[in-house]
Chains A and B, each alone.
Chain A
Amino acid sequence: MDLKLDHHSEDSLTIVEVEGEIDVYTAPRLRELLIDLVNKGNFHLLVNMEKVDFLDSTGLGVLVGGLKRVRAHDGSLELVCTQERILKIFRITGLTKVFGIYASVDEAKEAHGRDK
């Protein structure tokens, strides 16, 4: 399955919807989208990974790169993910300590609202 990307804004939060496979072939598209969003002043990003079938280290690198970019603007990049096979990759690499990971978009929005 290819990668489908979409995004929309809710208040100060930009929600990025990701569907399909994030690998060495498709990850550059996600990287471009994150860079474009930051360049346009979207510094609080929530990446919804509930429809991601596959994520490899290239995808992790793109997410870390996005986090670095938003942090440079005092922003945030958080994730929505409940799939064990995807969460396992974050645990193996220790990235569960780096990203805020939520069980739903609503939960993430609520946490974002509290932190504002």
Chain B
Amino acid sequence: MATVELTFSALPAHVRTARLLATAIARRTGVEESLLDEVRLAVGEACSRAVEAHRLHCPGEPIRIELCDDSGRFEVIVTDSAPSDELEQGRDYSSIRFDDPLGQLPGTLMSGFGIAVIVGLADDVEVYPSQKGMRIRMSWPAAAGGLSPV
């Protein structure tokens, strides 16, 4: 069960809020301090990608982020509503590399960079592209039961 859900309109200014929230909840859930930077960056990347996609395809639709602390892991799911037909379902994103970044289109480059950074940072990542939108699920190890309340 998700402990926190946030929906936000597709504005770049809200991405910072989303990653600060994710970092705060990761800390509360018991994710190691050394991993918090990775959580912050990976969640920021997923939200940035979603905001850019919504601005192109559906600027009025909200983006949803779910932060869960089930079974000793901190899980984040970012869901957008923009068709992601440029990304192939079932592709192995762990192999993304940029041999010629200067020769690529800026949009393709940044979208690809974003996914590559998420895959490089999160302990466990699944990307589900579809015509109805993309869902990125990522997780990190957390203390079982999270931190006790102060």
**Interface on A for B, CB 8 Å cutoff?**
21, 23-25, 54, 56-58, 60-61, 64-65, 67-68, 71, 85, 88-89, 92-95, 98
Known contacts A24-B12, A58-B48; A93 and B113 CB within 8 A of each other:
yes
Known contacts A56-B45, A57-B48; A92 and B120 CB within 8 A of each other:
yes
Chain B residues numbered 4-46 whose CB sits less than 8 Å from any CB in chain A = 12-13, 15-16, 37, 40-41, 44-45
Known contacts A23-B15, A23-B16; A57 and B45 CB within 8 A of each other:
yes
Q: Are A60 and B113 interface neighbours, CB within 8 A?
A: yes
Known contacts A54-B41, A61-B113; A23 and B101 CB within 8 A of each other:
no
Q: Can you report 24 A-B residue pairs in the complex whose CB atoms are below 8 A from each other?
A: A21-B16, A23-B12, A23-B48, A25-B15, A54-B41, A54-B44, A56-B44, A56-B45, A56-B48, A56-B114, A57-B113, A57-B116, A60-B110, A60-B113, A61-B110, A61-B113, A64-B101, A92-B121, A93-B98, A93-B116, A94-B97, A94-B98, A94-B99, A98-B101
Instruction: Kindly name the residue among A21, A57, A61, A94 whose own CB sees the greatest number of chain B CB atoms within 10 A.
Output: A57
Chain B count of residues within 8 A CB distance of the other chain? 27
Q: Are B102 and A67 interface neighbours, CB within 8 A?
A: yes
- Confirm or deny: B117 has a beta carbon within 8 angstroms of a beta carbon on chain A: yes
Q: Are A56 and B117 interface neighbours, CB within 8 A?
A: yes
- Confirm or deny: B66 has a beta carbon within 8 angstroms of a beta carbon on chain A: no
Q: Are B101 and A95 interface neighbours, CB within 8 A?
A: yes
- Confirm or deny: B51 has a beta carbon within 8 angstroms of a beta carbon on chain A: yes
Chain B residues numbered 91-150 whose CB sits less than 8 Å from any CB in chain A = 97-99, 101-102, 106, 109-110, 113-114, 116-117, 120-121
Question: In the docked arrangement, what's the CA distance between A23 and B113, Å?
Answer: 13
Instruction: Kindly name the residue among B51, B98, B101, B102 whose own CB sees the greatest number of chain A CB atoms within 10 A.
Output: B101
Question: In the docked arrangement, what's the CA distance between A39 and B109, Å?
Answer: 23
Q: Looking at the assembled complex, report how far the CB atom of B86 sits from the nearest CB atom of chain A, in whole angstroms.
A: 16
CB closest chain-A residue, reference B52: A24
Residues in A with CB closer than 8 Å to B13 are 25
Contacts A23-B44, A25-B16 given; 20 further ones with Cβ under 8 A? A23-B12, A23-B16, A24-B12, A25-B12, A25-B13, A25-B15, A54-B41, A57-B45, A61-B110, A61-B113, A64-B101, A64-B106, A64-B109, A65-B106, A71-B102, A92-B117, A92-B120, A93-B98, A94-B101, A95-B98
